[in-house]
Amino acid sequence: MKTITAMERVNSPQEMADQETYYWVVSLWAGNPESGVAIGVKNEEGLPYRELVTKKYERALELAEYWLNNGKLSDDRQIFVTIEAMAVKSSVVYVK
């Protein structure tokens, strides 16, 4: 028999600020970062350049630099990268 226990975490803003972040979503965009008008850049397979990076923020920075240094669009639009820190809101434990 499998038991699933789901626990919702409701943290105060202070608790969230005190927690260390271990998850980042890195995305590549084309457009203007100041105006917020942008579209996600896709690779040859048609999938967006978006990746989850864990454990070290430096890995997220390395990925962002790699995409910026090696990416170029055919119409010379500006490309930029966003790095979003993710908060853990819930956890699920599976027990067999």
Beta bridge partners of 91: 7
Q: What is the pLDDT of residue 1?
A: 44
pLDDT given for residue 79 in this prediction: 87
Pairwise CA distance, residues 79 & 73, whole Å: 8
Radius of gyration in angstroms for the set of CA atoms belonging to the chain, rounded to a whole number: 18
Which pLDDT score is estimated for 65?
92
Q: What is the pLDDT of residues 68-92, one digit of tens each?
A: 888 777 676 788 899 998 877 666 6
Residues 1-50 have pLDDT tens digits of: 445 555 666 666 676 666 667 889 999 998 887 877 888 888 889 999 99
Alpha helices per DSSP H over 1-96: 13-18, 57-70
